[in-house]
Structure 1
Amino acid sequence: MLVVRPITPQDYAALYSCAVESGYGFTSLPIDEDLLRRRIARAQEAFAREHVSEPGEEGYLFVMEDTESGEIVGCSGIEAAVGLTEAFYHYRLGKVVHHSKSLDVYNALETLTLCNDYTGVSEFCTLFLREPFRKNQNGRVLSRFRMLFMAEFRERFSDLAIAEMRGVSNENGESPFWDWLEQHFFTMDFNQADYLTGIGEKAFVAELMPQFPLYVKMLEPKAQEVIGQVHDNTRPALRMLESEGFKFRGYVDIFDAGPTVEVDVENIKTVRESMRKPVHIGDVADGADVILCNTRVADFRAARATIHVAEDSITVSQDTAEALRLKHGDSARFVAL
């Protein structure tokens, strides 16, 4: 069974492997030992906080484990509130109108403005599933279980959630959007800039990024074409988020111009449709296929499972109960897969 659980220090080697396999443009998983170990330690602190009344600096990082082999097959995370101690940058797409009534000229031009508009919101991040396991809806489980976690522990998260989508780049990690920025404002390549941001070195953004709105028409055609577009490998993740209610509101990444999508947490489909019921352990023949989780923070467990749903309880198999550390009478939260 593939079970999602909080990351531990023993998972470092697997997390490092995920960072290597994730490739270029995956900012939240840089290949940096110190940063990855700090992310694990920070996650452990977040899971250990029993009483949280509002979102703060917590960063929750989970791994998906094959319980038969012990192999870590992927990872997934949630930031409780971004930008509280380090600036969180985006470009905001807008419009400027140049109009002369006397000359009968009207031009509406798109602009890109550097901003910190998403400061304080929760972020779904660090979603990576290793190639051999991208089947049987494993990716859907690895993404959507976070929405169950958020539904169960609402006080830990903001009312608005976002997800940054990887933008367009080639097999060498070269971004058409960054190529234009590099040519005019920077002297570092995309991978170096992306890596520095991933390890928290963001001062150069404020120091070197253009502070005034950019006219999109000034960019090279190749750079214009990728604004708000996603990497081919990211399209399935974007479609899944859109099915949950996430929408693109005109905010893009400052390096590769990939879209950031947002949603009010109360309107996330999984949050709205999830239910919490007491658990019985028994036969689940002809049951429903769901994503199921227990209701504990530090000892959190989630997985795909078959359960029988009654009006006032659910029945799970003995194997599922053991994998998710559920006992008779415990509460569990679930949503249809």
Structure 2
Amino acid sequence: MLVIRPITAEDLPALLQCADASGHGFTSLPVNEEILAARIQHSEASFAKTVTTPGPEGYLMVAEDTETGEIAGTTAIEAAVGLESPFYTYHLSTVVHSSRRLNVHNVVKILTFGNDYTGVSELCTLFLRPEWRAGLNGRLLSKCRFLMMAQHPERFDKTVIAEMRGVSDEAGNSPFWDWLKDHFFSIDFTLADYLTGIGKKGFIADLMPKLPIYVNLLSPEAQAVIGEVHDNTRPALRLLEQEGFSCRGYVDIFDAGPTVECELRNIESVRHSQLCHVVIGEPQQAKEAVISNTSFSDFRAVVGPASLIDDQAVISPAMAAALQVEQGDAIRLIIQ
């Protein structure tokens, strides 16, 4: 059984393994021990902090096999992005150039550089090691965050976003970045992505074109990947779309992958999650559910069978132990 829990300093070697396996374009998992160790420390402090409004907290969690102790993956939430370092995006919009005298009417797309998402909450760092990508493990990593947000809404912004990894090849080449590199940056995508992942974003403000970019001036290859996702990211995108997330024209400034958003109150798993009281036993006519306890500093979440009877949920002793709950304790769940 996998259980989601807050990361600790002892998980650093496993987090490094996840970072190494995540590949190019996974900005929030740089292969840098010092940066990842600092992120773990920040997460530990964030989980221990008393919060009434969202700030620069970051909540990083891991999925642990309860039998072996092996770390299968990671998932995270940033409470409010862009407060301590800029959160840049491009916004894809439409402008019209027309001349009544010449009877010319052209509709063109432009990309505008900005910081429109400053202060919103971000779902990030969802990575599941390949050998664990089966069953409901991916859903657990994704949906556990919504149970946390439903139970502790004061810690998060009313708007929630997720950046989807854009198109790049196995060598880390991004068609969109290749065009930017040739005209403005003169550094490889993998280096730009790494520098952003370790917080060194100054080069973006220094070199990024400040005026809107006309999409039809980009290479055909760059135009084709705007708003498209990496093949490995498609399952995560489908899960978020089922939750009500959609892209409103914002894309990543490096690989042009889409940023999707949803109001916290409108996220399906937030809206339909239920608070129940634990009954420890063997569930009958059970349904699969993602379940969390109601603690924050000791947050736990699992996926497995549960039987609902009014406001009670019957779960197995093993699930109760993984959730660190006892008979009569409150839990929050969403039926799959």
Q: TM class, shorter-chain normalised?
A: over 0.9
Deviation at 1:284, TM superposition (A): 1.0
Question: Counterpart of 2:173?
Answer: 174
After superposition, what is the alpha-carbon deviation per residue over 1:181-219, rounded to whole angstroms, capped at 9, x for unaligned? Answer: 000001110000000000000011011000000000000
Report the 3-state secondary structure (helix = DSSP H, G, I; strand = E; otherwise coil) of the residue aligned with 1:95.
strand
Report the 3-state secondary structure (helix = DSSP H, G, I; strand = E; otherwise coil) of the residue aligned with 1:285.
coil
- The letter for the 1-side match of 2:172 is G
Question: Counterpart of 2:291?
Answer: 292
Alignment of 1:295-334 (within 5 A): 295-334=294-333
- The letter for the 1-side match of 2:181 is E
Deviation at 1:281, TM superposition (A): 1.3
- The letter for the 1-side match of 2:19 is A
Structure 2: 5+ residue stretches without partners = none
- The letter for the 2-side match of 1:156 is R
- The letter for the 2-side match of 1:57 is P
What is the percent sequence identity of the aligned residues? 55
Cα distance between partner residues in 2 of 1:221 and 1:208: 23
Question: Counterpart of 2:99?
Answer: 100
Deviation at 1:283, TM superposition (A): 2.5
Alignment of 1:117-128 (within 5 A): 117-128=116-127
Cα distance between partner residues in 2 of 1:283 and 1:95: 57
Corresponding residue pairs, total: 336
Deviation at 1:240, TM superposition (A): 0.8
- The letter for the 1-side match of 2:167 is V
Question: Counterpart of 1:61?
Answer: 60
Alignment of 1:242-257 (within 5 A): 242-257=241-256
Cα distance between partner residues in 1 of 2:295 and 2:75: 18
Cα distance between partner residues in 2 of 1:151 and 1:37: 28
Find runs of 4+ consecutive structure 1 residues off by over 4 angstroms. Answer: none
- The letter for the 1-side match of 2:27 is T
After superposition, what is the alpha-carbon deviation per residue over 1:44-71, rounded to whole angstroms, capped at 9, x for unaligned? Answer: 011111x311100110000000010110
Q: Report the aligned-residue RMSD.
A: 0.7
- The letter for the 2-side match of 1:75 is T
- The letter for the 2-side match of 1:25 is G
Higher mean Cα deviation, 313-322 or 39-48? 313-322
Cα distance between partner residues in 2 of 1:291 and 1:10: 26
- The letter for the 1-side match of 2:93 is G
Deviation at 1:285, TM superposition (A): 2.4
Report the 3-state secondary structure (helix = DSSP H, G, I; strand = E; otherwise coil) of the residue aligned with 2:333.
strand
TM norm structure 2: 0.99
Question: Counterpart of 1:112?
Answer: 111
Question: Counterpart of 2:272?
Answer: 273
Question: Counterpart of 2:46?
Answer: 46
Question: Counterpart of 1:33?
Answer: 33
Decide whether the 8 Å contact of 2:275 with 2:311 is kept in 1.
no
Cα distance between partner residues in 2 of 1:318 and 1:98: 67
Report the 3-state secondary structure (helix = DSSP H, G, I; strand = E; otherwise coil) of the residue aligned with 1:283.
coil
Cα distance between partner residues in 1 of 2:89 and 2:3: 34
TM norm structure 1: 0.99
Report the 3-state secondary structure (helix = DSSP H, G, I; strand = E; otherwise coil) of the residue aligned with 2:14.
helix
